[in-house]
Amino acid sequence: MYNPYDFYFKQAKKEWYKARSAFKLDEIQEKFHLFDKTTKHVIDIGCAPWSWLQYAISQAQKHNIKDYKIIWFDIKPVTLNLPGLVTYQQDVTEQEKVKELLREQWLQKVDLIQSDMAPNTTGIKDLDAIRSMGLVEKTLWMYKELLKPSWKFVIKVFMGPGFEEFVAHLKTYFGWRAI
Q: What is the pLDDT of residue 7?
A: 57
User: At 4, is the pLDDT very low, low, confident or very high (cuts 50, 70, 90)?
Assistant: low
pLDDT at 179 over 60: no
Give me the mean pLDDT over the 100-128 stretch. 93
pTM of the full structure: 0.86
Which amino acid makes up residue 26? D
pLDDT at 129: 93
Annotated catalytic residue, options 24, 97, 144, 156: 156
Exposure pattern of 84-116 as b/e (b: 16+ CB <10 Å)?
bbbbbebebeeeeebeebbeeeebeebbbbbbb
167 phi, psi to nearest 5 deg: -65, -40
Contact assessment for residue 146 and residue 113, using Cβ atoms and an 8 Å cutoff: yes
- The C-alpha atoms of residue 95 and residue 170 are separated, in whole angstroms, by 20
pLDDT at 15 over 90: no
152 is catalytic: no
The share of the chain scoring above pLDDT 70, in percent, equals: 84
Each residue's pLDDT tens digit, 25-64: 888 899 989 999 999 999 999 866 677 888 888 889 888 9
Quick one: 169 exposed, middle or buried, by C-beta within 10 A (0-12, 13-18, 19+)? middle
55 near 12, Cβ under 8 Å?
no
